[in-house]
Amino acid sequence: MSLSGRLSLFVALIVIGVVASVTYLETRSFERDIDQELTDASRLSAQSAAANLAARDTPLDPLDIRDMLHDLVVADPVLDVISVIETDAAGHLSVFTSTSTEERAEVLDVAGRAIMTMSPVTDRSETVVITAVPVPRRDKYVVVATVGLENLLQARQRGVGIALRVALPTMVLVTVLAYLAVRLLVGKPLAAIVRTMEQTAAGDLSARTAMVRHDELGTIAARLDGMLDQLERFNQSLHERIARAERVAVLGQVAANVAHQAGTPLNLVSGYVQMIREDPKTDERTRSRLQTVDTQIQQVTRVLRSMLDYARQPPGFETVAVSDIIERVREIAQPRLSRSNIRAQFAIAANLPAIRADVTQLEMALLNLVNNALDAMPAGGSLAISAAARGDGVRLEVADTGPGIPAEILGRLFEPWATTKPTGQGTGLGLAIVRDVIRSHGGSIAAHNRATGAVFVIDLPAAGSVAEAV
| pLDDT at residue 192, as a whole number | 83
The answer to whether the CB of 274 falls within 8 A of the CB of 293 is: no
pLDDT > 70 in the chain, percent: 83
How far apart (Å, rounded) are the C-alpha atoms in residues 314 and 14? 69
Instruction: Output the CA–CA distances (angstroms, integers) from residue 157 to 160, 425, 461, in the order listed.
Output: 5, 88, 88
| Rounded to 5°, angle at Cα 261 from 258 and 266 | 105
How far apart (Å, rounded) are the C-alpha atoms in residues 87 and 93? 5
Average pLDDT for the chain: 80
Cα torsion at 46, 51, 53, 57 (round to 10°)? 180
pLDDT band at 393 (very low <50, low <70, confident <90, very high): very high
Whole-model pTM?
0.43
| pLDDT at residue 202, as a whole number | 74
- Helix-strand-coil split of the chain, %, nearest 5: 60, 15, 25
**pLDDT at 301 exceeding the cut of 70:** yes
Q: Which residues contact 409 (CB under 8 A, 6 or more apart)?
A: 418, 419, 420
Taking the CA of residue 72 as centre, how many other CA atoms within 13 Å lie in the half-sphere pointing to its CB?
A: 31
How far apart (Å, rounded) are the C-alpha atoms in residues 295 and 266? 12
**pLDDT at 421 exceeding the cut of 70:** no
| pLDDT at residue 250, as a whole number | 62
Residue 70 φ then ψ, to 5°: -65, -40
pLDDT band at 163 (very low <50, low <70, confident <90, very high): low
**pLDDT at 467 exceeding the cut of 50:** no
**pLDDT at 359 exceeding the cut of 50:** yes
Which of 240, 250, 236, 244 has its CA nearest to residue 437? Answer: 250
Residues in the chain, total: 470
Sign of the alpha-carbon torsion through 294, 297, 303, 306 = negative
Ordered by start, the domain boundaries in the chain are: 3-153, 217-311, 318-461
Largest Cα–Cα distance in the chain?
183
Q: Tell me, what amino acid is at 35?
A: D
**pLDDT at 426 exceeding the cut of 60:** no
Which of 219, 195, 190 has its CA nearest to residue 208? Answer: 195
Which residues, listed in sequence order, are joined to residue 41 by a DSSP beta bridge?
Answer: none
CATH 2.60.120 fits 217-311, yes or no: no
How far apart (Å, rounded) are the C-alpha atoms in residues 212 and 126? 64
What pairing do the DSSP bridges indicate for beta strands 381-390 and 342-348?
Answer: parallel
**pLDDT at 168 exceeding the cut of 90:** no
| pLDDT at residue 468, as a whole number | 43
The answer to whether the CB of 311 falls within 8 A of the CB of 248 is: yes
3-153 adopts what CATH topology?
Answer: Beta-Lactamase (3.30.450)
| pLDDT at residue 418, as a whole number | 55
318-461 adopts what CATH topology?
Answer: Heat Shock Protein 90 (3.30.565)
Query: How far is C-alpha 320 from the chain's CA centre?
Result: 33
| pLDDT at residue 389, as a whole number | 92
Instruction: Output the CA–CA distances (angstroms, integers) from residue 323 to 121, 396, 463, in the order listed.
Output: 92, 10, 14
The DSSP symbol for 205 reads: T
Q: Tell me, what amino acid is at 315?
A: P
Name the packing angle between helices 359-375 and 430-440 (round to 10°). 150
- pLDDT tens column, 188-240: 887 888 888 888 777 777 788 877 777 787 888 888 888 888 877 877 776 67
The answer to whether the CB of 89 falls within 8 A of the CB of 82 is: no
pLDDT > 90 in the chain, percent: 13
**pLDDT at 184 exceeding the cut of 70:** yes
| pLDDT at residue 151, as a whole number | 61
SS (H, E, C) 355-403: EEECHHHHHHHHHHHHHHHHHCCCCCEEEEEEEEEECCEEEEEEEECCC
DSSP string, 70-83: HHHHHH-TTEEEEE
- pLDDT tens column, 234-286: 777 766 766 666 666 666 666 666 665 666 677 767 777 778 878 888 888 88
What pairing do the DSSP bridges indicate for beta strands 128-134 and 121-124?
Answer: antiparallel
Which of 92, 75, 94, 91 has its CA nearest to residue 83? Answer: 94
Three-state SS for 251? helix
Q: In whole angstroms, how large is the CA radius of gyration of the chain?
A: 53
**pLDDT at 131 exceeding the cut of 60:** yes
The answer to whether the CB of 162 falls within 8 A of the CB of 154 is: no
